[in-house]
A = this chain, B = another copy of it.
């Protein structure tokens, strides 16, 4: 490497590249197309551009990163970064200059382009029967004649009033009991878990308690913050999975564990810290907006739930101890890493998990900071590559209650498939990779402002039109300088492939149609990689001062993803002895944004009537929420995890052939004659 240059990798985006030594981290971010918040224009006064310089050897990137690889600490940083954070490697991006290779983590709050998250939870029917319920009880004061202990006194009241018997109490709740009883003048509200264990005691009469349903994806962590009494979704909070820096997919993280002595601990600590941040975020959002203030680390929020009237509206001030239940789902590898279970064997044939069954774990045993006596319900998992997230999808969609055959597809970094009906369900996974979500694509990005989400290519001129998130207008109706495109997000990916094909830019095999593109200004060879690429947006239209391109490798990634998905679906349909499926449900953000017609045409999954294709949103999260609000769903979850038959597709003899075929772009189908122009026979025969 050039001695005057250093490798800089930004996380969680994964953007990387060499930059001249001596420039600031902010300058490097701009060179590499990463947006870091800098309200003050790098005058070192706003403190918005806080980043963390990671410490360690990152084999995947072949670099050693260290806080000593940036310039020394400056006095200006003290105002924004406390000692604890300073020790963890936090710096101001506008102050620290690059001296050697570094891996830079950009915290959520320092990212300029906030992710667009669909806030509203889907309206699925859930019976109200939470694991944590509140009971109010009044008891007599002890006397010499009746000096029975506090707990037995309360139990007697709970049995008399509510028929609860044989209750136990967690030691942390027991410590609250004597003071609460006396503060409440012998009247308390107790939180009881599963009608078995007392997990909180508060003085007086209270009627609110809260819970979180958390869906931990390989890339994103999202949570529904619910009122357990009213079932209302108070808020939806999300963040990037902080483990992204160890690798973008599950295999990379398993490898990180196997090659790094404390790799598992690091990854586990990071996601636990992440979940705690998410909890704090949920709680902080309940603060009245006027009084909202950034909480310092270590502060546990106010001791009591207080109703605060602000501008005529009443706000609840909650503390983390007001969260009394959590349900959480993951794919199997994320599940194991979160729980510090050795994930090695999940990554090795025949991929047995350490356990399938759900777990009730005291949150404190994992370092999760909520009400200290509370449990987390960890959803059960189906198999090595079909995890608790898929159980969540099943809980939300309930295919086991219907006669029609449903194919449910959850496209995340790994594709998970379920097929069947009330009589039989089979599941499988396919290594789609994250390409369909916009990752591992040269200019792929999250669904954030500036992301291209719709693309059109003129078959004649091969000129490109597009629409970015954050602006209603298409490019051709806008001043290019105002479009500020930054990359392509998941929902734009399938559009892109279909349009490239329809416009004759690529052939059925996926290769660029060199003949048609000859001397076209948008088609060129990248001078560094010598790979062909096609320009989607010129530097002047972009917010990162670079041409946004799609490369031959990108197209190959998308083809691999769609091929894996199609082949997986097809083999499952075959295995079930079906000709076609009745319904196709697509979970995840991809399902919400995808153009169903184009997905069908491009051969993402087997034939199905177009009106029978549904996006079901964050079904995994909805399933977690169902388990949070209805304890019977937890039993159902375990039933699902053991009664869905897992099929390992890669060992099927025809898998390889199906996969190769499915990678090709499809022939015209007679079903959709209006899309006749989609195949350019001329291109098909160019080779």
Contact = CB atoms under 8 A, between A and B. Distances in A.
Interface of A: 142-144, 147-153, 168-169, 171, 174-175, 177-179, 182, 339-342, 344-345, 349-357, 359-361, 364-366, 381, 383-384, 642, 646, 648, 651
A350 B147 contact: yes
A402 B340 CA distance: 53
A354 B147 contact: no
Nearest to A146: B350
A350 B148 CA distance: 9
Given A147-B646, A149-B353, A178-B341, 15 more contacts: A144-B349, A144-B350, A144-B648, A147-B350, A147-B351, A147-B352, A147-B384, A147-B648, A150-B354, A171-B359, A171-B361, A175-B340, A175-B341, A175-B342, A364-B365
Contacts of A153: 352
Given A350-B143, A350-B144, A355 B175 contact: no
Contacts of A383: 147
A642 B151 CA distance: 13
A171 B365 contact: yes
Given A171-B361, A174-B339, A174-B341, A353 B150 contact: yes
A390 to B, nearest CB: 15
B648 A352 contact: no
Nearest to A351: B147
Q: Which 4 A-B pairs have the closest CB atoms?
A: A151-B355, A142-B352, A149-B353, A147-B350
A642 B147 CA distance: 12
Given A178-B345, A366-B171, A148 B356 contact: yes
Contacts of A651: 144
A355 B150 CA distance: 6
A366 to B, nearest CB: 7
Nearest to A151: B355
A177 B344 CA distance: 13
Contacts of A646: 147
B177 A354 contact: yes
A164 to B, nearest CB: 15
A177 B353 CA distance: 11
Contacts of A353: 149-150
Contact of A357 (B152, B344, B364): B152
Contacts of A381: 149
A151 B350 contact: no
**Which of A144, A169, A177, A360 has the most CB atoms of chain B within a 10 A radius of its CB?**
A144
A174 B342 CA distance: 10
A352 B171 contact: no
Given A171-B359, A171-B365, A171-B366, A354 B144 contact: no
Contacts of A352: 142, 147-150, 153
12 contacts: A147-B352, A149-B356, A151-B354, A168-B360, A169-B355, A171-B359, A171-B366, A174-B339, A175-B339, A177-B355, A178-B342, A178-B345
A185 to B, nearest CB: 15
A181 to B, nearest CB: 9
A629 B350 CA distance: 42
Contact of A356 (B142, B151, B345, B356): B151
**Which of A151, A352, A357 has the most CB atoms of chain B within a 10 A radius of its CB?**
A352
A152 B148 CA distance: 44
A345 B147 CA distance: 11
Contacts of A142: 350, 352
A423 to B, nearest CB: 22
Nearest to A349: B144
A221 to B, nearest CB: 20
Contacts of A174: 339, 341, 354-355, 359
Contacts of A152: 355-357, 642
Contacts of A144: 349-350, 648, 651
A356 B156 CA distance: 13
B171 A355 contact: no
B365 A149 contact: no
Given A357-B152, A365-B171, A342 B147 contact: no
Nearest to A148: B352
A420 to B, nearest CB: 19
A481 to B, nearest CB: 56
A350 B359 CA distance: 42
Contacts of A168: 360
A142 B345 CA distance: 10
A179 B264 CA distance: 14
Contacts of A149: 352-356, 381
Contacts of A148: 352, 356
A147 to B, nearest CB: 4
A356 B174 CA distance: 12
**Which of A349, A353, A383 has the most CB atoms of chain B within a 10 A radius of its CB?**
A353
A310 to B, nearest CB: 35
A84 to B, nearest CB: 22
Nearest to A366: B171
Contacts of A349: 144
A466 B149 CA distance: 48
A179 B339 contact: no
A159 B364 CA distance: 31
A648 B359 CA distance: 46
A151 B339 CA distance: 14
Contacts of A384: 147
A466 B354 CA distance: 69
A445 to B, nearest CB: 36
A342 B179 CA distance: 8
Nearest to A172: B365
A326 to B, nearest CB: 15
Nearest to A646: B147
A355 B176 CA distance: 12
A357 B383 CA distance: 42
A294 to B, nearest CB: 29
